[in-house]
Every structure is written in C-alpha cells, then in structure tokens.
C-alpha cells in the first residue's frame, strides 16, 4: 500500500491554487513556474538598430527633378490618409522653400526662409496666413521635409547627424482644420513652393517601430513571399498614439536588419481616416483577416476592431473599414493576436482595467467553439489578474504547443501562459526598456525574438510616442 503524506505546505499550496483559480488569477504565480517547451532556450541580445525613414520607397507617389516656382506647384495625387511627407532637395543656393496641404477648410503650410532667418507654420482660411508656430534659423541646412501625421505638422531639416526637428505644431481641429476628416483629406492637394533640385512626396514612414506581429496563415505558419518573412508593425510618428500608423514589412529570415516597408494600412470609421495599429493579419485563402487596436483616435476609449479584405494587403496603400469586435470582457482592450488551433479560434488580448492614476492592464484569453468561424462569439477563458502592466499578447506555437506570451513592465519579464490561462513559465530573455513585445520567429528551426525598446527620437521636441529601436534576441552561443 502506498501512503501519500500531505504536509501543511502541500495543503496551503493546494488551497492557494484553488483560491487563485476562484479569483481568476494564474494557478501558478511567477515563482512557481513549472517549465514549458520554452524552458530549454535562453536568449541574449544579438543586435539592435534604429529603423527611421520619413518617406519609404513603397509610399512614394511623386518624384520630380528641377522644380522652380514662386507659385504653388501641386503634387497631384488622390490622397487617402493624413500621413504624408513632402521632401525638398534644395538647389545649390537655397532660398525661400515651402510645402503644404490645401484643403477645403484652408491651407496648412510650413516654410523655411533663409533670408528672414526664420521658419514657421501657418494656416490660411482664405483671409491671409496666420502664424501658428515659428523659430529662428541657425546653421547650415540640406534637405527639408514637411510631414503631416494625423493633425501633427513637423518641419524637418537634414543635418550632419541626419533628420532633425526644426518646428512642430499640433493643429487645433476647431480653429484650423481636422485632416482626419475623410472629406477634407481626400479632397486635399499637397504642394511646394521654391526652387529645388528634387521634390518627392508620399506616405509618411516611421521614426521607429514597435508592436511587431507575424503575418501568418490561420494555423500559425508564417507567410513567406520572395524568400522573406512578413510582419506588421506600428510606425512611430512624431507624437502620441494617433500620430502613428500600421504598416506591413518584410525581411529575410537570416537578416532582420534588411527590414523593408511593403504597404501602408489605414482605417476609416465615423467619417475619419485614422492610423489604428497594433494587431494581427491572418491570410485565410484569398482573404485577409484583421484585428487591430483603436489607437488612431485614442481618448481613453481603447478597443479592438476587426475587418476582412480580399485585397493583397502585402503591397500598396489601403484604407479599410472595420467594426468594433464584441468581446467577452467588460474592459477596454488592445493588442489582439489570433490563431486557429485544435478546431478553435483563439484570441489573445489585453484588458485595460483603468487609465488613472496610471494605465493598468493585463493579458487575457478567449476562444470560439470547435468548428466556429473566426468572427463567431468568443468564450472568456481567463486573465492574469495579478499583473497590472502586462501587454504585448502574442499567441505563439512552438514544438506544436500553443502558448500566450506577454510582457510585464513591472516585473520586467515575459510570462508564458497555457491555453487555460495558467502561467507556466517565463521566457529566459533580456528585457529592454518600455514594454517590449516578445515576437518569436522560428523559420527553419532557428527561433529568435524580434522586439523593441523605449528609445525615443527628439523626445524633447516631439514628446512621448517616437520610441522603437528594433532588438534581435537569439539563443546563446552555447545553444546554437
């Protein structure tokens, strides 16, 4: 006969597990990690780089040499969203230079005047330009760029160390113009004034990248095309969340440094063209299934939206309609991640339980019934109610096992959850600044993590939201 002895510590531990389950908390707190398929892997930082491009080639719609005009030179193109760049390469002897956007409600212009020694941003409702911001000019200059990201206007100057902010202004929607309004932006025209060796214009790129997710087939296989891996990422803009937007990137699996923007994605809702971002794309036959966070008009109202499209979203510029995803949670939400596994559609997400005195948020998991469609009702599985700064939810398959990975900004680690939302492990990996999302990419049996950190660009001039060094974490040399 086998006698099973139960010590007081076993009783207490079992009672604690039952209590945590009743409270909806992880069955195992972090110090009780039981191990998982991730336990044998230890990652270390392999490289980091800063993606920065005001005007990527994929978004260029105007490229012209030898422009010299005192009047407006319109750069004719049907504008789709207020995320735009005009790049001006001066003649040998630069003089007055300007670029702007002419809307039905008025004209927003950024000008650079070496003769007067000033740069300024103006708005003209038809009664003459009104100055919105100005600064004195100092030092030599090269190329200029004017960017519009949502309602943020920035005049950039290229210096010895690259692009630098010369002037920034956030438009007052009530007193000037709201570039997000569909009728305004689609009826607007970009233009320039002055003498230039070259003028380029197109859709704004990125000051950094964050929130990466693999573009996958529903059951988890990464989309491959032309020998490249495809991801979505948030393109950091010169300001808070609405100044950012979503885009598709690709790179060779062996060289993430060769990161290339392939397409821009924007969203139309409530009469506005917005830069919603942080979400997933699944390729299901000829359809693209999307879930995205509503950061494009954020005002403490975050939620997840879904859409589907028959277009090839891996190239071009797209404006998509979406609808609010009815989720089994009473809380605001973001960071959706979805996979089809064991006949169910699984959705990882973040629940926001409060915005003040600081954002508090936690990972959660939901799933459909077996055999249901991706947009069928979801049943709530659970949330990690211990954590209050945990986001970056990423459903991940490794060695045939489904886990939800996340990132805990307070503990500075990456929790691993099973499909019952029990915390079972912690990724053994360095934790950079901000709340980096642990995107594991495993193509060919060589897993690595592509993530980001909180390094800003021109933080003093632009404020929070420009962060996004890309960081590559690989298994240690002993494991290679």
How many whole angstroms separate alpha carbon 61 and alpha carbon 80?
Answer: 12
13: confidence class by pLDDT, cuts 50, 70, 90? very low
Asked whether the beta carbons of 144 and 112 are under 8 A apart, the reply is yes
60: exposed, middle or buried (C-beta count within 10 Å: 0-12, 13-18, 19+)? middle
Give pLDDT, residue 94: 72
Which of 153, 184, 203 represents a domain boundary (last residue)?
Answer: 203
* pLDDT of res. 145: 98
State the pLDDT confidence band at 300, using cuts at 50, 70 and 90: very high
228-233: long-range pairs with CB below 8 Å, 24+: 228/252, 228/253, 228/260, 229/253, 229/441, 229/443, 230/262, 230/314, 231/439, 231/450, 232/265, 232/279, 232/280, 232/281, 233/206, 233/209
The whole model's pTM is what? 0.92
What is the pLDDT averaged over residues 213-218?
98
Same domain? 87 vs 104: yes
DSSP string for residues in 392-415: EEEEEEETTEEEEEEEETTTTBEE
Report d(CA 336, CA 281) in Å as an integer. 10
Kindly report the CATH number assigned to the domain that includes residue 142: 2.60.120.200
| pLDDT of 34 over the 70 cut | no
Tell me, what's the pLDDT at 26?
A: 42
Q: How confident is the model at residue 14 (pLDDT cuts 50, 70, 90)?
A: very low
| pLDDT at 138 (0 to 100) | 84
Q: Is the domain of 40 the same as that of 69? A: no
Task: Flag whether pLDDT at 6 surpasses 50.
Answer: no
Domain co-membership, 42 together with 88 = no
In a domain, 7, yes or no: no
pLDDT value at 12 more than 80: no
- Based on the domain organization, do 229 and 339 belong to the same domain? yes
Task: Please calculate the CA angle 308-312-315 and round it to the nearest 5 degrees.
Answer: 125
Q: What is the pLDDT of residue 480?
A: 58
Whether the predicted pLDDT of 217 surpasses 60:
yes
157 and 218, same domain (yes or no):
no
pLDDT for res 451: 98
Decide if 325 contacts 378 (C-beta within 8 A): no
Q: Are residues 45 and 156 in the same domain?
A: no
CA 195, 199, 202, 207 torsion-angle sign:
negative
Mean pLDDT score, 6-31: 37
Residue at 1 is within a domain:
no
pLDDT tens string 255-291: 999 999 999 999 999 999 999 999 999 999 889 999 9
pLDDT digits (tens, 9 = 90+) for 413-436: 999 999 999 999 999 999 999 999
Helix (H, G, I), strand (E, B) or coil at 367: strand
Q: Are 79 and 137 part of one and the same domain?
A: yes
What DSSP assignment string belongs to 32-60? G----TTTT-BEEEEEEE---BSS-GGGE
> Residue 314 in contact with residue 262, Cβ under 8 Å?
yes
Q: pLDDT tier at 19 (50, 70, 90 boundaries)?
A: very low
pLDDT at 35: 78
User: What number is the average pLDDT over the span 353-379?
Assistant: 97
Provide the terminal-to-terminal Cα distance of the chain, rounded to the nearest Å. Answer: 48
Q: Which domain holds residue 140?
A: 57-203
Q: Is 418 inside any structural domain? A: yes
Query: Sorting pLDDT into bands at 50, 70 and 90, what band is 183?
Result: very high
Nearest-angstrom CA–CA distance, 243 and 272: 14
Could you tell me if 302 and 363 lie in one domain? Answer: yes
Domain membership of residue 142 (yes or no) is yes
Report d(CA 149, CA 132) in Å as an integer. Answer: 17
Under a CB-based contact definition with an 8 Å cutoff, are residues 144 and 187 in contact? no
Clarify whether residues 386 and 469 are in a common domain.
Answer: yes
Query: Using CA atoms, how far apart are residues 417 and 395, in angstroms rounded to an integer?
Result: 9
pLDDT at 210 over 80: yes
Q: Distance between CA atoms of 293 and 304, rounded to whole angstroms?
A: 5
Residues 437-459 pLDDT 10s: 999 999 888 899 999 999 999 86
If one counts the domains in the chain, the total is 2
10 Å Cβ neighbour count for 420?
Answer: 12
* Domain membership flag for residue 27: yes
Checking if the pLDDT of 15 tops 90, the result is no
The pLDDT assigned to 417 comes to 98
Please, which residues have CB within 8 angstroms of residue 141's CB and are 6 or more apart in sequence?
90, 94, 112, 114, 157, 158, 159
Residues 368 and 225 in one domain: yes
13 domain-assigned:
no
**Mean pLDDT in the chain?**
91
- Residue 111's pLDDT is 97
Amino acid 24: pLDDT: 41
Q: Are residues 364 and 266 in the same domain?
A: yes
Q: Are residues 386 and 430 in the same domain?
A: yes
Tell me the C-alpha distance between 126 and 135, whole Å. 24
DSSP 8-state class, residue 292: E
pLDDT tens digits along 113-146: 999 999 999 999 999 999 999 999 987 778 999 9
The whole-number pLDDT of residue 298 equals 95
Residue 477: pLDDT above 80? no
Indicate whether 349 belongs to any domain.
yes
């Amino acid at each position: 006969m086998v006698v099973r002895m139960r010590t007081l510590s076993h009783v207490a531990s079992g009672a604690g597990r039952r209590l945590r389950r009743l409270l909806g908390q992880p069955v195992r707190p972090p110090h009780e990690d039981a191990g998982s398929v991730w336990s044998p892997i230890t990652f270390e930082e392999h490289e980091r780089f800063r993606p920065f491009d005001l005007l990527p080639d994929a978004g260029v719609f105007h490229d012209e040499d030898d422009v010299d005009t005192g009047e407006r030179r319109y750069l004719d193109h049907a504008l789709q969203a207020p995320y735009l760049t005009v790049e001006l390469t001066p003649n040998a002897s630069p003089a007055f230079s300007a670029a702007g956007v002419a809307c039905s409600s008025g004209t927003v212009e950024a000008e650079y005047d070496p003769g007067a020694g000033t740069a300024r941003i103006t708005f003209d409702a038809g009664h003459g330009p009104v100055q919105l911001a100005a600064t004195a000019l100092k030092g030599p200059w090269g190329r200029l760029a004017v960017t519009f990201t949502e309602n943020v206007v920035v005049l950039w100057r290229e210096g010895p160390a690259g692009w630098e902010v010369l002037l920034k202004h956030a438009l007052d929607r009530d007193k000037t113009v709201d570039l997000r309004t569909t009728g305004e932006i689609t009826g607007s025209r970009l233009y320039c004034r002055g003498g230039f060796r070259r003028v380029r214009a197109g859709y704004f790129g990125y000051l950094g990248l964050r929130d990466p997710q693999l573009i996958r087939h529903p059951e988890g296989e990464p989309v491959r095309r032309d020998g490249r891996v495809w991801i979505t990422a948030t393109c950091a803009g010169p300001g808070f969340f609405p100044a950012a937007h979503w885009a598709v990137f690709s790179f060779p699996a062996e060289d993430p440094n060769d990161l290339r923007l392939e397409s821009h994605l924007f969203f139309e809702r409530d009469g506005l063209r917005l830069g919603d971002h942080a979400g997933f794309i699944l390729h299901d036959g000829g359809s693209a299934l999307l879930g995205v966070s509503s950061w494009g008009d954020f005002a403490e109202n975050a939620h997840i939206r879904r859409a589907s499209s028959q277009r090839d979203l891996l190239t071009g510029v797209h404006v998509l309609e979406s609808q609010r995803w009815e989720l089994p949670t009473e809380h605001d939400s973001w960071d959706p991640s979805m996979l089809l596994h064991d006949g169910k559609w699984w959705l990882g997400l973040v629940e926001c339980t409060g915005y003040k005195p600081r954002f508090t948020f936690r990972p959660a998991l939901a799933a459909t019934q077996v055999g249901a469609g991706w947009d069928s009702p979801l049943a709530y599985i659970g949330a990690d109610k211990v954590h209050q700064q945990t986001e970056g939810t990423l459903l991940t398959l490794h060695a045939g096992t489904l886990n939800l990975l996340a990132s805990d900004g307070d503990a500075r680690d990456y929790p691993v959850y099973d499909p019952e939302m029990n915390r079972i492990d912690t990724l053994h990996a360095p934790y950079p600044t901000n709340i980096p999302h642990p995107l594991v990419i495993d193509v060919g049996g060589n897993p690595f993590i592509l993530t980001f950190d909180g390094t800003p660009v021109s933080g003093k001039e632009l404020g929070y939201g420009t962060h996004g060094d890309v960081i590559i974490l690989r298994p240690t040399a002993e494991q290679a």
